[in-house]
Amino acid sequence: MANEVMAGMESNAINPDIARERLKATFDPLELTHIFDGGKERTTRRKELENLLFSDPLFCLRDNIYLSTSDLYSATMARSVKLFRLKQDQKWSEDDLLLALRLIRDQNCLSLHHSMFLPALERLASDDQKARWLPLARRYHMVGTYAQTELGHGTNLMELETTATYDKATDEFVLSTPKLSSIKWWPGSLGKTSNHAIVLAQLVVDSKKCGMHPFMVQIRSLVDHTPMPGIKLGVIGQKMGSNHNDNGFLFLNNVRIPRENMLMKNAQVTRAGKFLTSGPNKANYATMIYVRVMILSWSFGAISAAATAAIRYSSVRRQSSLAPGQEESQVLDYQTQQYKLFPTLASGYGFFFIHKVLSAKYKAMLVDMQSGNSKALPEMHAWSSGMKALITDITTYNMEICRRSCGGHGYLRASGLSDMVCEAFPLATVEGENTVLYLQVARYLLKQIAKALTGQQTTGTTEYLTMNEASYICPLQKPVDCRNPDFLCEVYKKRAYRMVLKVAQALQRDMESGKEQAVYMNNNLQPLVRMATAHCYYLAMRSYIEGLASLQVSPPARKILDKLCCLFGVHYIVTLSGDFLEAEAIGLEQLQWLQELELQLLAEIRPDAVTLVDALDFHDETLSSAIGCYDGRAYERLYEAALKEPMNQTEVDPAYDKYLKHLIMEGAQSKL
Ligand SMILES: CC/C=C\C/C=C\C/C=C\C/C=C/C(=O)SCCNC(=O)CCNC(=O)[C@H](O)C(C)(C)COP(=O)(O)OP(=O)(O)OC[C@H]1O[C@@H](n2cnc3c(N)ncnc32)[C@H](O)[C@@H]1OP(=O)(O)O
Ligand SMILES: Cc1cc2nc3c(=O)[nH]c(=O)nc-3n(C[C@H](O)[C@H](O)[C@H](O)COP(=O)(O)OP(=O)(O)OC[C@H]3O[C@@H](n4cnc5c(N)ncnc54)[C@H](O)[C@@H]3O)c2cc1C
């Protein structure tokens, strides 16, 4: 038996089931890989970086599962420092660095430095301040975090309690977290790593509150890394995942900083203590929009990694058989398994395109804002909030489905899936809790429908609110129409329109009945979220189509991409069919066609499933999944991983000598 196991381990043969899968492909995966990488040259560059990083054991992530939290932090720090040295020594571009971070699944201690500290400096600091701090931050002399959330408040920024009081006598701000609930709580890289923080605090000038503003605060010594006077900080404790990240707390006890340390792009306090603003009302919220757009890209990475591991594993896992007497079937052949995994895959592919579309719009808005035009800001806030909420909802839900689709092995950390899921879960919370973000979308939609109902034209993402519902004819007139993504998009649009209208009318009725606004708003909060979600599905479908339309690809690649887009559209109509029927966007006949088409699409995608995840081209080290490796050798790798487990390094565990032995021995004696 042992010999048989060892023989299996020694052979490097690729699993025959997964090898056969690749022969069935109808398209060239490399073509799609180039699209995901941003071009052929970027694929080449990625491979170079993969070779460089993964030839060094420091960057091998799969052994992280054996480490204690402090060892994990230490290993992550070693990796981070090495990575940033490589960047400097090898003169990597910023794109190369972002790529390298993606390859190590952002397992680095300076993640907040890159994802928020630098972006916040770029967006909130004046030109002089940027000239002063950015070079230091880019060289990692200043290592920073973004400290906004407090123990008592994360969502409600108006009620943040940290204060920055201007002291005219000394030309300084005095920063203070006056109560337990005011201490900064959660910022990534705060507990042990950062020596600076952009602290978001209520500005107080002449005893007047002037709103939330950002302040540069040095929190640790640049000589020995000890906390600066007046500062107490540490880590907040073990989390469900991402324990390499030292999310921290920060007490500020009358910490003095020079007036010039207020980030002054959007507002200034003069030497004489005059408060001036120079940007739009919520200009200091700019970093949050940026990160919300980024989160779409992170979600794409997270959901596609989970789909890759689950689909590869499902192609090599055999369990029961489809017909009596046959050999056991690959679990990927069960329709139920396809139903779990292919809509997830289709969603992951979609998020790539949705991110591309939104990111381009966001960049265009930034250009406009530089020339003083911030007209697009409210729509961009609603759009980015909505997409962040919907896409992270779908991502976290479907990643857990992927994990469960791997049966028991999905629960093993060596499968990689449990860690992937736990790392992704907070996406629904960070950068605005999803319900709260849907409610921001709802606020925007109510303003737009009010315009539409008073005869004004709405534009952009809400242009449809001026639709004439009476002239709506369901575009799905025969079964084949259900394969047309544009038609499906019309259906999503109709459902969104009806839901917005319905909620707006309910609110109007409640208002006219004399109820207080606070009461009727709360009584309609859940419908508001539902209506916002419907709008977000429409936008997601629209962007998926728009992103695909802009691609130059071969007919076979186009065919499979269109199928995925169609599956995405069909799947969520069928899943949420009650809404679509209620909105009269479809009838029962159309629902039947869509249900049949969904199953048909599962079967059509089946032969390409493994190649579709191969096209995403995750390196085995990035995936860190014993069951999701390219070669499909799931059992061999699970067994190897078990052998590495620290508890297996001794035949008899010390706990036996300490405890169990006595019980067993006593039992033996009493028998005598
Ligand atoms: C694979 C990787 C896996 C895992 C990674 C995991 C973790 C690491 C990632 C990231 C690190 C996380 C960092 C953070 O979380 S930082 C903290 C982020 N915090 C938040 O996002 C707070 C959420 N709250 C808010 O954004 C606001 O408070 C809220 C929008 C909810 C309400 O704001 P406020 O109370 O000030 O305003 P209202 O009175 O409701 O008015 C709304 C009004 O304001 C306009 N608005 C709101 N936000 C913005 C914005 N960002 N930009 C522009 N305009 C904005 C909105 O349009 C309304 O305008 P109007 O209707 O005209 O009044
Ligand atoms: C892993 C992780 C990393 C983080 N990193 C950072 C960081 O680097 N920097 C930083 O500053 N912060 C960070 N945060 C904090 C994060 O931004 C907040 O946790 C998030 O904004 C949610 O706020 P909250 O925790 O106050 O939730 P709460 O607002 O307390 O939410 C609790 C519940 O109340 C509901 N709720 C709240 N307000 C309303 C409302 N108005 N209407 C209806 N329902 C409502 C929510 O929907 C939710 O169900 C991080 C958090 C996590 C988990």
* 3-state secondary structure (DSSP) of residue 185: strand
DSSP secondary structure of 456-474? PPP-GGGGGGG--GGG---
For residue 163, list its beta bridge partners: 176, 202
pLDDT of residue 1: 44
pLDDT of residue 199: 98
Does one domain contain both 550 and 493? Answer: yes
User: Which of 375, 399, 423, 430 to probe ligand 1 with, by most ligand atoms within 8 A of CB?
Assistant: 430
Does one domain contain both 241 and 308? Answer: no
Residue 601, ligand 2, Cβ within 6 A: no
* pLDDT category of residue 370 using cuts at 50, 70 and 90: confident
Q: What is the mean pLDDT of residues 298-315?
A: 98
Q: What sign for the dihedral angle of Cα 91, 92, 93, 97? A: negative
Protein residue with its CA nearest to atom 17 in ligand 2: 430
DSSP secondary structure of 484-536? -HHHHHHHHHHHHHHHHHHHHHHHHHHHHTT--HHHHHHHTHHHHHHHHHHHH
pLDDT of residue 100: 97
- Give me the count of residues in the chain: 672
Active-site residue list? 431
Last-in-domain residue among 87, 108, 129? 108
Residue 433, ligand 2, Cβ within 6 A: yes
Query: How far is residue 454's CA from residue 457's CA, in Å, rounded to a whole number?
Result: 9
Does one domain contain both 237 and 342? Answer: no
In a domain, residue 207? The reply is: yes
* pLDDT category of residue 372 using cuts at 50, 70 and 90: confident
Does one domain contain both 252 and 357? Answer: no
Domain that holds residue 92: 30-108
432 CA from centroid of ligand 2 (Å): 6
Does one domain contain both 197 and 298? Answer: no
Domain count for the chain, please give it: 3
pLDDT of residue 531: 98
- Judged on CB neighbours under 10 Å (0-12, 13-18, 19+), 176 is buried
Does one domain contain both 77 and 184? Answer: no
In a domain, residue 658? The reply is: no
Does one domain contain both 533 and 549? Answer: yes
State the chain's mean pLDDT as an integer: 96
The 10s digit of each residue's pLDDT in 484-527 is 999 999 999 999 999 999 999 999 999 999 999 999 999 999 99
Q: Is 149 within any annotated ligand binding site?
A: yes
Does one domain contain both 77 and 178? Answer: no
Q: What is the mean pLDDT of residues 166-193?
A: 98
* Residue 563 in this model has a pLDDT that exceeds 90: yes
In a domain, residue 665? The reply is: no
| CATH code for position 97 | 1.10.540.10
**Residue of 9 and 407 predicted with greater confidence:** 407
In a domain, residue 367? The reply is: yes
Side-chain-facing half-sphere of 51: CA atoms under 13 Å: 6
Query: How far is residue 533's CA from residue 438's CA, in Å, rounded to a whole number?
Result: 7
431 CA from centroid of ligand 1 (Å): 7
Q: What is the pTM of this model?
A: 0.97
* Residue 672 in this model has a pLDDT that exceeds 60: no
Residue 396, ligand 1, Cβ within 6 A: no
* pLDDT category of residue 10 using cuts at 50, 70 and 90: low
Does one domain contain both 405 and 532? Answer: yes
Ligand of minimum distance to the alpha carbon of 286: 1
Last-in-domain residue among 614, 631, 654? 614
Which atom of ligand 2 is least distant from the CA of 154? Answer: 26
* Residue 446 in this model has a pLDDT that exceeds 50: yes
In a domain, residue 127? The reply is: no
Long-range contacts of 440-444 (CB under 8 A, 24+ apart): 440/381, 440/382, 440/385, 440/386, 441/382, 441/385, 441/386, 441/389, 441/532, 441/535, 441/536, 442/503, 442/528, 442/529, 442/531, 442/532, 443/382, 444/378, 444/379, 444/381, 444/382
Does one domain contain both 301 and 406? Answer: yes
Judge contact between 335 and 530, C-beta under 8 A: no
433 CA from centroid of ligand 2 (Å): 5
| CATH code for position 605 | 1.20.140.10
In a domain, residue 118? The reply is: no
Does one domain contain both 449 and 545? Answer: yes
Residue 369, ligand 2, Cβ within 6 A: no
- Judged on CB neighbours under 10 Å (0-12, 13-18, 19+), 242 is middle
153 CA from centroid of ligand 2 (Å): 8
Last-in-domain residue among 579, 614, 649? 614
Complex ipTM:
0.98
Ligand of minimum distance to the alpha carbon of 288: 1
In a domain, residue 447? The reply is: yes
| CATH code for position 148 | 2.40.110.10
The 10s digit of each residue's pLDDT in 67-124 is 999 999 999 999 999 999 999 999 999 999 999 999 999 999 999 999 999 999 999 9
Which atom of ligand 1 is least distant from the CA of 433? Answer: 23
Residue 153, ligand 1, Cβ within 6 A: no
Residue 114, ligand 1, Cβ within 6 A: no
pLDDT of residue 8: 56
- Judged on CB neighbours under 10 Å (0-12, 13-18, 19+), 664 is exposed
In a domain, residue 7? The reply is: no
pLDDT of residue 589: 98
Does one domain contain both 221 and 359? Answer: no
431 CA from centroid of ligand 2 (Å): 7
Place of tokens 């989160």: 295
